[in-house]
Amino acid sequence: MSAEPDTARWTWRPDVPAPSTGGAGRGRHRRAGELGRTVVRGIGQTLVTLGLVVLLFVVYEVWVTDLLTAQRQGQLSDELHHGWDDPTVAAPGGTPAPIDVAVGTPFAVLHVPRLSSDYSRVIVEGTAGEQLAQGPGHYVGTAMPGEQGNFAVAGHRVGRGSPFLDLDQLRPGDPIVVETAGWWFVYRVLGDRATGDFGGDPSGIPGQQVVRPSEVDVIAPTPDGAPDGPATGAYLTLTTCHPKYSARQRLIVHALLDGGPISKTAAPDGPAALSEG
């Protein structure tokens, strides 16, 4: 294949001036060509750099925030257990004392055996970015663990330790165990355990739903009830973003307290539900 004449036709040489051009004109042309190339190269390098910065941001969002949050969770866990072991705090009596904590304070540990047998995350009070960067956050004003009403907790789906990444894996009947200073509370995801249908619960409240971000009814005292309505039971609600990597919707899991509080003096290593799943 002798393609030489063809390819030669396509070779564009802007820097080769026509032989008839004078000396001064040639210099000007060359300078203009160099300037053009410098500008184009500058734009190209800037775009490549921006691409790398965006990639680095993905790395930050998906992995680096995990490291930062894991470190903070370790500190919170130490802080929490140090407070719990404090002998000046009265030992748990017959019933759990009401919990009253300031925003930003850790006060409970969330265990979800379905997600992992050693899944435990310290819950902090408040759902602002600062609190959620540390771990799951409790909606201020909603019920506390074990109380009548709705113990509502938000957590990140992706990044920041991804505490609620696999929230969609929970099935009806799965235990969600909340540990406080002196007590264990076992909640179970609503729905029909036999068929796995989230909508099959006698209460009419679904075990799992996907809602718009503005649907605050999910954290009402009775889930999906009026925001200031009466509580019909001790519920637990977990909220996170949906679908993964998006903030278009919210994935919601509702659970109901199963049995009464279990004292830590009776079960130091936790209730039997902890080893389910």
Partner 1 sequence: MYTWIWRHLPGGAPGKTLLSLMLVLAVCALLLFVVFPWIEPSLPFSDVTVDR
Return residues touching partner 1 (CB under 8 A).
41-42, 45-46, 53, 56-57, 60-61, 64, 127, 129, 132, 137, 139, 154-160, 164, 211, 213-216, 218-219, 239-241, 245-247, 250, 252
User: Residue 104 in contact with residue 130, Cβ under 8 Å?
Assistant: yes
Which residues contact residue 57 at a Cβ distance below 8 angstroms, ignoring those fewer than 6 apart?
A: none
CA distances from 135 to 73, 116, 156 (A): 7, 17, 8
Task: Output 45 or 275, the one with its CB closest to partner 1.
Answer: 45
In terms of CB distance, is 28 or 37 closer to partner 1? 37
Strands 234-242 and 149-154: parallel
Q: Is 241 a catalytic residue?
A: yes
Minimum CB–partner distance for residue 175 and partner 1 (Å): 22
SS3 192: strand
Strand partners, 250: 211, 241
Catalytic-role residue among 156, 157, 188, 242: 156
Q: Which is nearer to partner 1, 246 or 265 (by Cβ)?
A: 246
Which CB, 217 or 258, lies closer to partner 1? 217
Structure tokens at 152: 């509502």
For residue 121, indicate whether it is catalytic: no
**Residue in 72, 114, 250, 254 annotated catalytic:** 250
**Minimal distance, residue 201 CB to partner 1, in Å:** 20
Tell me whether residue 91 or residue 216 sits nearer to partner 1 (CB atom).
216
How far is it, in rounded angstroms, from Cα 207 to Cα 253? 6
**Which is nearer to partner 1, 189 or 241 (by Cβ)?**
241
Angle at alpha carbon of residue 242, lines to 147 and 146, rounded to 5°: 10
State the DSSP string of 202-217. TTS--SEEEE-TT-GG
CB of 246 to partner 1, least distance (A): 6
DSSP character string of 131-169: HHTTS-EEPTTSPPTTSSEEEEEE--SSSTT-TTTTGGG
Active-site residue, 29 included = no
Name the minimum Å distance from CB 32 to partner 1. 19
What are 212's two structure tokens? 């718009």
Token pair of 18, please?
Answer: 């026509």
158 with 245: CB under 8 angstroms?
yes
Catalytic (active-site) positions: 156, 241, 250
